[in-house]
Amino acid sequence: MDLSSSLLSLKLPFIKLLLSLLIVTIRGVAGSCYTSIYSFGDSYVDSGNMQYLDADVFGCYVPPFGESYFHLPTGRCSNGRLIVDLTAELFGLPLPQPYLKTWNESVANVQEGINFAVSGATVLDASFFEEIGSVVLTNVTLRYQLNWFKDFLAHLCNTSSILSSPQRYESIFNFGDSLSDTGNFLLSGALAFPVIGKLPYGQTFFHNATGRCSDGRLVVDFIAEAYGLPYLPPYLAIDNGHDFKHGVNFAVAGATALDPQFFKELKLESLLWTKDSLSIQLGWFKKLKSSLCTTKQDCDNYFKKSLFLVGEIGGNDYNYAFFVGGSIKKLRAFVPVVVDAITKATSALIEEGAVELVVPGNLPIGCSAVYMTLFQSPNKADYDPKNGCLKAFNSFAKYHNNQLKRSLEMLRQKYPHARIIYADYYGAAVRFFHAPRHYGFFNSTLTACCGGGGPYNFNNSARCGHIGSKACNNPSAHVNWDGIHLTEASYRHIAKGLISGLFSTPPLSSPL
């Protein structure tokens, strides 16, 4: 069988499924005209979905695209209208709106049609192209579009307005480190005067320090917002009267996937910011569980409407060792142990009743200001010519992520009833370094916004918040906040990539 025949055989199940779903195209009273249009496809029919994915793969959002009819770019990869637009006009219908637009603003006439197409989309999943060594422009395949359609259909048949439909999740439980800690580190008293407890941390959104290691909100905050939920209170605020009905944040800045004993054996225990590792956080969850539900049935009903975020976690396990001179070759031996700890924690949560879990991979650490500073090299070959990042450390992060993905696939086979979602933090963030201006990052992507000088504005003796450091005037124009963590603007883009399905496999359930 040749490749074209193979591709056709793989397409047929999708085409059959699509045809079976298109029964929602409603005929008029006379049976002679259509009253709605639903479109699936790629750049030939995408009317703007790619805009909401933060990934304009064909440059269709800049002039002269859109000049002939709309007189401005709309995301259509043409000078004007597309076939789907002209078809809608022929039947007297409004132009089908991009599906992802309904997530961000009020959209009229959704009953008359929605466009699910995404520029660069493929019929086959990205894994097929990975196996043959080809690169895809977007992870939003036809399967993703069909999942969007199913979510949309469920709401369309039950309500007259998408925006008034019920939220998908009723609670969120988060585990991790400083990328998602919303206050536990401060409350734990791990350090007498942690700098994250004062400005400029928190200056952008909260206008005061909250214990978040950024200028504002984190990925977990944006996910909560998307699903209409309040920001997660830190677990250690349980005595402060917080309501935990909609979820809890167990993450602690500096936390590791491995227990402190592991680092004690390596004589690295003194470097740990905290001993509240992932297993400790799991213990907190088990302790809290009895106050959330009592019987197994109660817990099953409660947790089936909950989203569990297991990380990002594991980055600090490597950071502590790298920062005292550990070699990449030596630390590669740590990776299976770290991945195993994350996998076991995910498994434990499923055993406790979790059914929908997001497990993020690591960020591109080779683009981080702290790594760029500590591991500067006179050898130009050590830097990626496309983005200026340290190639070896980014390769290490990808090695961890690939190991994690394999482990999660085995977990899916063990727990077929659970939705175990891999969140591609690396892919979501590395875009900023390849095309920074597209995401609004007009300052150096490799330089920290807040720091005490140096080529990347990271100075270990004058880190952000310490004497001698200074925050930039416009954090939203920077990728990196303090040399280690990202800005609110970066976290917003990462969260959008996860929620839309572009960087989550399988995609998160629609927040509609």
> Tens digit of pLDDT for each residue in 256-266?
999 999 999 99
Is 485 noted as a catalytic residue in this protein?
yes
Q: Where are any strands of DSSP class E within 60-134?
A: 97-98, 113-115
Give me the residues paired with residue 419 across strands. 356
Which domain CATH number covers 250?
A: 3.40.50.1110
Look up residue 435 and give its two tokens: 């095309």
Number of structural domains the chain divides into: 2
Q: From the candidates 42, 125, 221, 482, which is the catalytic residue?
A: 482
pLDDT of residue 444: 85
Q: Half-sphere exposure of residue 27, counting CA atoms within 13 Å on the CB side?
A: 5
Q: Are residues 253 and 335 in the same domain?
A: yes
Q: Indicate the residue among 164, 193, 218 that finishes a domain.
A: 164
| Parent domain of 83 | 22-164
Residue with tokens 């817990």, as numbered in its chain: 299
- Please tell me whether residues 175 and 314 are part of one structural domain: yes
Alpha carbon 42 to chain centroid, angstroms: 23
User: Domain check: are 406 and 428 in the same one?
Assistant: yes
Give the three-class secondary structure for 114. strand
The pLDDT of residue 24 is 42
pLDDT at 90: 86
* Residue ending a domain, choose from 144, 164, 184: 164
If asked whether residues 228 and 307 sit together in one domain, one would say yes
pLDDT tens digits, residue range 131-162? 676 666 777 788 878 877 877 776 666 543 33
Distance of CA 329 to the CA centre of its chain: 29
4 catalytic, yes or no?
Answer: no
Ranges of H-type helices in 116-271: 126-131, 142-156, 184-188, 219-226, 260-265
Query: Which parts of the chain sit beneath pLDDT 50?
Result: 1, 3-4, 7-8, 19-32, 159-166
Q: What single DSSP character describes residue 172?
A: E
Is residue 273 within 8 A of residue 190, CB to CB? The reply is: yes
Nearest to residue 124, comparing CAs of 143, 137, 102?
143
Buried b or exposed e, range 277-300, using 16+ CB within 10 angstroms:
bbbebbebbeeebeebeeeeeebe
* Cβ pair 357, 349 in contact under 8 A: yes
| pLDDT of the residue at 32 | 45
Same domain, 351 and 457: yes
Q: Which of 43, 119, 178, 476 is catalytic?
A: 178
- pLDDT score recorded for residue 82: 93
User: What CA–CA distances, in Å, run from 347 to 341, 407, 412?
Assistant: 10, 11, 10
* Among candidate residues 148, 192, 127, the one with its CA nearest the CA of residue 46: 148
Residues 115 and 220 in one domain: no
71 noted as active-site residue: no
One domain for residues 251 and 153 = no
Based on the fold, state whether residues 137 and 43 are members of the same structural domain.
yes
Catalytic residue selected from 155, 400, 485, 493: 485
Write down the pLDDT at residue 439: 85
Cα gap 194→198, rounded to integer Å: 8
Whether pTM > 0.75 for this model: the answer is: yes
Q: Residue 173: beta bridge partners?
A: 248, 308
